[in-house]
Amino acid sequence: MSYKDSPYFHIGRATELQGRDRLIYRMLEMLPGFLSWGTLLSTIFLSYYFPVAAAIFIIAFDLYWLLKTLYLSFFLHRNWKRLKHNMTVDWRAQIATLKHEHVRHMVILPFYSEDRETIGNNILSLMRSETDLTNMIIVLASEGRRGTEALAIAKDIEAEYGKKFGHFLVTVHPEDVPGEMAGKGSNISFAAEKARVEILDVHHIPYEDVLVSAFDIDTVVYKHYFSCLTWHFLTTKNPYRASYQPVPFYNNNIWDAPALSRVVAGSGTFWQMIQQERPEKNVTFSSHTIPFKTLYDVGYWQKNMVSEDSRIYWNAFFAYDGDYKTVSLSYPVSMDANLAPTFFETLKNIYKQQRRWAWGAENVPYILFGFLKNKKVPLMKKISTTFVQLEGYWSLATNPLMIFMLGWLPLVLGGKIFNSTVLSYNLPIVTRNLMILAMAGLVVSAMVFLSFLPQVTVRTRKRDKALMLLQWIFIPVTIIIFGAIPGLDAQTRLFFGRYMGFWVTPKFHK
Amino acid sequence: MKEPLQSRKRFLISALFVVVFLLFIPIILLYSIGYRLDNTLTLTPTGGMYVFYPESGAKVFLNGILSDQTSLFERGVFISDLAPVLYHVEVQKTGYLPWKKDIDVGERRVAEAYPFLIPAVVGTSTVPRFITLNSGTSVTNTLYSKVVELFATSTTKASVPLKNIITPTSTTLVASSTAIVRKDIEIAIEGKQIVAWWKGNKDSTPFYFCDADRLECNNVMKVADGDFLDVDFYPGRNDVILYTTKDGIYATELDQRSLPNTHKLLSGNFEFREDNQRVFIKEKNFYYELLFIASTTLTNAISI
């Protein structure tokens, strides 16, 4: 029996299992929080009882952090060059040399409470893209729980733009379907199935020819996006065993968003750029593309969990026994940075969004449990994937706290004997110096960020431009408040089995 | 089209960073712990010294050589890479009496020093009973009233009742002295001695209650011998005390490593009170405030 036919394939949480499986899955759910809290509490324990050992650990960790920063900056810089190059390539000319006319693009646009302008901007960007619109299938996926208002907007959009595309479908995801969690996953899965039945099957469009792009509703594509995507699909070896991942920029409203929001958004972009250079560590995130054949094969996105964007990768990974990858497009799509009517609301929304993303830790038990159950995944792949996943969530929740806060603990808790050692005096000095060196990575970040900013608007002032550069001094703050703490928050909830629901990031335009 | 680096190349880059880590971590750790290469390229343990002085412009001399200087941004100086031997430390600041101490620096340990620099010129200012307003009206000086009140009692506000004090060697209540408390340190005159007690957390015991390695600490120490009339803390410090004998008023430190720095502030036979970082003295029925004025030139200490 294939793993995708097993009862574990679409598992969302431990409570959906029984007996020993449930116990194992529950323990795996606790693992990310256990590792993170274990590290933080161990550092406190060591600082009190074995301050010398704690100081040595912290200095070693500082060096690890410095080298990690340099290592990641190398990949960031490399992807920056690749992305800039890809944005200058004439992708239409590239695919012209290939047989490409059969490839169709299905774009699923789920929305909940977003206004017409946001949805309209998305559609307009699709129309501006240099691709054959008759080959495009637009699926505007509304939520039934939003009532007739959402449907009215969708119908209005369809009336205005529907004829421009090959196919245009409006779907209404029914509310309160048993076994489903209200959220993007259940909506786009419903929409994809509707599109299959009402468009692909009716018009005899082969599933193999359709690439499905699941976009957040604020996604704005650059003009060559679909050509670039098509080229990668047509040139990738075994293209149905792959998802296709663009780089999310948050440029739609970047000049309006406050500095903290920009830094958090920019950091997210950088992380995705770095991951693009490490394909074996890259999984689908936010707006992404998957061949319909593959999507149908794995049963669409999971409907019973929050992080459907990354889970679809893991579904396919296990369905094909580890033979699945994410192809880095190194080509951007643009989305909204967090922005709310007030500064405080913006901060609150950033925190909630980061926590939702950090809730991706719910994939850890799914992956590790899958490794136990699916014996066909190669052992080395199991080991490396386990390490990458655990290290990733552990780093997110602990590293910033250890670097910027816990590094001083041995001095506070170490007692008088430790505090009279040369080591205790050198600890803050060595930490400070290594951190200053690590901050050099910020220069790379600032330059990369500036190079991708959209054109200056009329309202932009010189001060705003200067702030775009200076804002990176907030990094130590943002990686703690909008990185480590929401990461710990999410992992702690998972640890205690307080499962999170889907939270829709509110969109606001000035 | 440009592609991501091949996995083999990425592996090599990762391996390179691992090698750099393994190469540098022992060097950084040995450096942090206090090891240095000497002239013969032998790894040798060193120590350090931390001299805390919260004002800028204090020069720190080790064995007569200027080592460092406090600045606006650094309230103390950390002198590292010191051979583990005895150092003669002198701290000088223009207008203040120098502070001198012989301090032993241990291997991989940092010796601390908290110099107290007394202005070279200590004057007095009368606290008048009445002051004249701009209007020409004479009114009672509130400071005078406060000072009179200070001297009206035999103890200051910070004092604790005698019965609460337990001698270090027994639980006998001491009946002949008054203890003054500041930041977990108590001082009192015990017969012909000034004694200090550490009343705080054992783990926070100040170094002057401990041996050089801070492994053995007592909660009591003898500060000075003599015929003392009164004792209190020096303004703003809990490791420096003021005391009077029939000869005058003196300041000395609790740090007993080598000879304590002791300075005579004023000659005469009088009482004094320290209040809110100000020192008042009483001579017969007149009250004065001690004025610590920094002179513009370095003056030799009036050490006794």
Chain B residue numbers with beta carbons less than 8 Å from the beta carbon of A71 are: 13-14, 17
- pLDDT of res. A313: 97
The answer to whether A423 contacts B33, with C-beta atoms less than 8 Å apart, is: yes
Q: Quick one: closest CA in B to A64, which residue?
A: B21
C-alpha distances out from residue A412 to A47, A48, A59, A428, Å = 8, 8, 16, 12
Q: Is A277 on the interface with B (CB under 8 A)?
A: yes
CB A194 within 8 A of CB A169: yes
Among candidates A82, A420, A429 on the partner chain, residue whose Cβ is nearest the Cβ of B109: A420
3-state class of A289 per DSSP? strand
Taking each helix axis from N to C terminus, what angle separates A485-495 and A343-358, rounded to the nearest 10 degrees?
Answer: 50
- pLDDT of res. B160: 42
- pLDDT of res. B211: 79
Residue B158 scores a pLDDT above 50:
no
| Backbone Cα Rg of chain B | 26
Residue bearing tokens 């680096």: B5
Among candidates A235, A279, A423 on the partner chain, residue whose Cβ is nearest the Cβ of B34: A423
Determine which of A132-146, A197-211, B25-39, B199-213 has the lowest per-residue pLDDT on average: B199-213
- pLDDT of res. B162: 39
Among candidates B4, B110, B210 on the partner chain, residue whose Cβ is nearest the Cβ of A421: B110
C-alpha distances out from residue A116 to A3, A146, A149, A165, A193, Å = 42, 14, 11, 18, 25
B178, two tokens? 């008054």
3-state class of B155 per DSSP? coil
The answer to whether B32 contacts A426, with C-beta atoms less than 8 Å apart, is: yes
Dump pLDDT digits (tens) for A434-473.
988 888 878 888 888 888 888 766 666 677 777 888 888 8
The answer to whether A416 contacts B31, with C-beta atoms less than 8 Å apart, is: no
Residue B93 scores a pLDDT above 60:
yes
Q: Please state the pTM of the whole predicted model.
A: 0.84
Q: What is the pLDDT along chain A (510 residues), one digit of tens a residue?
A: 789 999 999 999 999 999 999 999 999 999 999 999 999 999 999 999 999 999 999 999 999 999 999 999 999 999 999 999 999 999 999 999 999 999 999 999 999 988 898 899 899 999 999 889 999 999 999 999 888 888 999 999 999 999 999 999 999 999 888 889 888 999 999 999 999 999 999 999 999 999 999 999 999 999 999 999 999 999 999 999 999 999 999 988 888 899 999 999 999 999 999 999 998 899 999 999 999 999 999 999 999 999 999 999 999 999 999 999 999 999 999 999 999 999 999 999 999 999 999 999 999 999 999 999 999 999 999 999 999 999 999 999 999 998 887 778 999 998 888 988 999 999 999 998 998 888 887 888 888 888 888 876 666 667 777 788 888 889 889 999 999 999 999 999 999 999 998 777 777 776
Quick one: pLDDT band at residue B246, thresholds 50, 70, 90?
confident
User: Of B52, B48, B47, B46, which is closest to residue B255 (Cα–Cα)?
Assistant: B52
The answer to whether B110 contacts A70, with C-beta atoms less than 8 Å apart, is: no
- pLDDT of res. B157: 39
Q: Is B205 on the interface with A (CB under 8 A)?
A: yes
A75, two tokens? 């990949």
Identify which has the larger pLDDT, A88 or B162.
Answer: A88
d(CA A49, CA A409) in angstroms, rounded, equals 11
3-state class of B292 per DSSP? strand
Q: Quick one: closest CA in A to B33, which residue?
A: A423
Q: Quick one: closest CA in B to A48, which residue?
A: B203
Chains A–B, number of C-beta pairs less than 8 Å apart? 98
CB B135 within 8 A of CB A446: no
- Contacts of B242-249 with CB under 8 Å at 24 or more apart are B242/B272, B242/B274, B242/B279, B243/B189, B243/B194, B244/B269, B244/B270, B244/B271, B244/B272, B249/B281, B249/B290
Q: Quick one: closest CA in B to A236, which residue?
A: B3
Q: Which residues contact A458 (CB under 8 A, 6 or more apart)?
A: none
Q: Is A289 on the interface with B (CB under 8 A)?
A: no
Among candidates B2, B33, B213 on the partner chain, residue whose Cβ is nearest the Cβ of A422: B33
Dihedral sign of CA atoms A58, A60, A63, A67 in order: negative
Residue bearing tokens 């750029």: A273
Average pLDDT for residues B193-207, to the nearest whole number?
Answer: 88
Among B2, B52, B207, which would you mutate to test the A interface (most chain A Cβ atoms within 10 Å of its Cβ)?
A: B2
Residue B159 scores a pLDDT above 60:
no
Q: Is A384 on the interface with B (CB under 8 A)?
A: no
Among B1, B23, B24, B105, which would you mutate to test the A interface (most chain A Cβ atoms within 10 Å of its Cβ)?
A: B1
Chain B residue numbers with beta carbons less than 8 Å from the beta carbon of A81 are: 2
Identify which has the larger pLDDT, B134 or A123.
Answer: A123
- Cα B165 to chain centroid, rounded: 24
- pLDDT of res. A255: 87
Report ipTM (2 d.p.). 0.85
Average pLDDT for residues B208-226, to the nearest whole number?
Answer: 84
Dump pLDDT digits (tens) for A158-187.
999 999 999 999 999 998 888 898 889 999
Among B8, B12, B28, B208, which would you mutate to test the A interface (most chain A Cβ atoms within 10 Å of its Cβ)?
A: B28
Quick one: pLDDT band at residue B171, thresholds 50, 70, 90?
very low
- Taking the CA of residue A77 and the nearest CA in chain B, the distance in Å comes to 12
Q: Render the burial of A27-59: b for 16+ CB within 10 Å, e for the rest.
A: ebbbbbbebbbebbeebeebbeeebbebbbbbb
User: Of B235, B1, B18, which is closest to residue B119 (Cα–Cα)?
Assistant: B235
Alpha helices (H) along A97-240: 116-128, 148-161, 184-195, 225-235
The answer to whether B32 contacts A86, with C-beta atoms less than 8 Å apart, is: no
The answer to whether A422 contacts B215, with C-beta atoms less than 8 Å apart, is: no
Q: Quick one: closest CA in A to B24, which residue?
A: A63
The answer to whether A420 contacts B207, with C-beta atoms less than 8 Å apart, is: yes
Among candidates A235, A328, A427 on the partner chain, residue whose Cβ is nearest the Cβ of B32: A427
Q: Quick one: closest CA in B to A429, which residue?
A: B32
Q: Is A279 on the interface with B (CB under 8 A)?
A: yes
Determine which of A184-198, A211-225, B203-217, B285-299 has the lowest per-residue pLDDT on average: B285-299
Q: Is B28 on the interface with A (CB under 8 A)?
A: yes
Beta bridge partners of A325: A242
